[in-house]
Structure 1
């Protein structure tokens, strides 16, 4: 069980917040690196999280990162601008820079230390493999072709994280699928919309490589605890599904009365090029995790969605 200090970027996000809670439950000291320390302190009040320390930093400046890394046994790097939005030129730059330049700054800070963290656990994404409607992707699959914005961004992101291995740091890269979880605000919204949930999204035939947040966090804890874990892992359910199966599961779990379809055209009008996040998919499998005996709490889409809505 990990007891030395863990530093987390992106700790107030969907995955990072739950990981921080789980580490706090263990009694592990956690340092949260945040661009918005006031908001992070509100998320992790000291009365409830006495072993969580919030430190402000500038993501592209290694000098603001290095002091927080002192005494850390590992760094979990989850920071990155959201991608499920309309991609203006400014948003594209923010998506890429937050991953490439942000990771470069973090690794530069690690490289400049005498007593470096033993491990860097870095987020990545399944888009590493590119988009294909028919192929099956595992960790030994080749990287996707250049030219796709998200695929190129992911390749650059991982390359920066891998630099840490040059400094005797164990690097684990987790290629996340679509993470299923609902915040309290999101759950309230879904309750209002539940009569209409479950309609087809786009063609409905695009593959969705998904994972429940609790399984993501278990994988992150495993990567922290098991020093034999190195390299890239697909953090996805062993059962990718078509989008129709996702929306059907939402419909059944929410007992919707009217299932309203959302055509591809509507999504493209709302998100522009960012619609690719929803309309294009891949069939990704977690072969390495399964070979190493990882047990998924939610391997099937139906129980996973029921859990997050209940």
Structure 2
């Protein structure tokens, strides 16, 4: 078995694409599983990514997943439909199925192998804990109450990933906060809009548990490299902030001089029930990572925002 090969789903996303870059720098062979292999291949040209192969698959069909897993030492599962959208019934179904059914298919493929990958690292989200204006959440906190769409989805998502541990696979679940990162094109757009950045969003008092993309990827690499890591970890900055503090950091970093507030009503009109991802929050801390000595490169919101905008 090639003890270095890593299989990645969701590799073209903000976190996944940077993880592929970092693994390529290390000379680690990577297999990217993609529903759209031709488009994914353009993201990872051979000249720049000599150790990356792209394989098409059906995320709900284990039979299309199994061939890519041969000779893999680890699987990093980042795939999931975007949640920043208006939640029509069809969007809700896609969000849930991409996480619950997609993870079930992946674990079924792993379980059916005689020589299976030793490690599964699966993304999750802070919404696992539900929402609160005052509570402090860490890994030992109980799961949030049922009845909230995202919370329920996250519980199902993690439950499917944990099934892999029944087959002697080391499972690490990373509950990501909002990831701060901007592509080159996105950075150019933000610079053009800088006079309007930094306005209050909703009440501004909702908590934002966030993480810089570089720290998110560093945590993934640590999970790949550290056999002792098992179970759930909060992949968030140790300094969650109020939304008003986050938007103020964007205003300062972009030298905004005209801050336009965005009322809750406007966000609800745009996103419907999906507005909850912006208007509701939770204060989540990475207690396990800190206890195990992980060093955050961007623990504070100011330097993190400045870094992605400049």
TM-score range, shorter chain: over 0.9
Q: Distance in 2 between matches of 1:156 and 1:303?
A: 35
Confirm or deny: 8 A CA contact 1:3 1:27 kept in the other structure.
no
CA distance in 2, matches of 1:132, 1:78: 26
1:294 corresponds to: 294
Specify the alignment match of 2:198 in structure 1. Answer: 198
For residue 192 of structure 1, report the CA deviation from its aligned partner: 1.4
TM-score by length of 2: 0.99
Does structure 1 residue 57 correspond to structure 2 residue 57?
A: yes
Alpha-carbon shift at residue 243 of structure 1 (Å): 0.3
Question: How many aligned positions are there?
Answer: 309
Report the counterpart of residue 47 of structure 2 in structure 1: 47
Determine if contact 2:125/2:177 at 8 Å carries over to the other structure.
Answer: yes
Contact kept in structure 1, 2:195 and 2:258, CA below 8 Å: yes
* CA distance in structure 2 between the aligned counterparts of 1:45 and 1:35, rounded to whole angstroms: 17
Q: Is the 8 A contact 2:3 2:72 kept in 1?
A: no
Runs of 4 or more above 2 Å deviation: none
Question: Counterpart in 1 of 2:147?
Answer: 147
CA distance in 2, matches of 1:264, 1:184: 29
In the superposition, the TM-score normalised over structure 1's length comes to 0.99
Confirm whether residue 97 of structure 1 aligns to residue 97 of structure 2.
yes
Distance 2:110 2:42 in 1: 28
Cα distance, 1:186 vs structure 2: 1.2
Equivalent residue, structure 2, for 1:72: 72
**Structure 1 regions of 5+ residues with no counterpart?**
none
CA contact (8 A) 1:3 1:29 kept: no
**In structure 1, C-alpha distance between the alignment counterparts of 2:247 and 2:125, rounded to whole Å:** 22
5 Å matches for 1:91-240? Answer: 91-240=91-240
Note the alpha carbon deviations across 1:121-178, whole angstroms, 9 max, x for none: 0000000000111000000000000000000000000000000000000000000000
Partner of 2:309: 309
Mapped contact 1:7–1:75 kept (Cα < 8 A): yes
Map Cα deviations across residues 78-117 of structure 1 (whole Å, 9 max, x no partner). Answer: 0000001100000000000000000000000000001000
- Tell me, what secondary structure is at the counterpart of 2:193? helix
Give the Cα–Cα distance (whole angstroms) in 2 for the partners of residues 256 and 236 of structure 1. Answer: 27
Partner of 2:83: 83
Could you tell me which runs of 5 or more consecutive residues in structure 2 were left unpaired when the two chains were aligned.
none
Q: Deviations for 1:207-239, whole angstroms, at most 9, x for unmatched residues?
A: 000000000000000000000000000000000
Q: Distance in 2 between matches of 1:283 and 1:4?
A: 36
Instruction: Give CA-to-partner distance per residue, 1:255-285, whole Å, 9 cap, x none.
Output: 0110011110000000000000000000000
Contact (CA 8 Å) 2:172, 2:232: kept in 1 or not? yes
Q: Quick check: 2:198–2:249 contact (8 Å CA) kept in 1?
A: yes
* Cα drift, residue 247 of structure 1: 0.4
Match of 2:28 in 1: 28
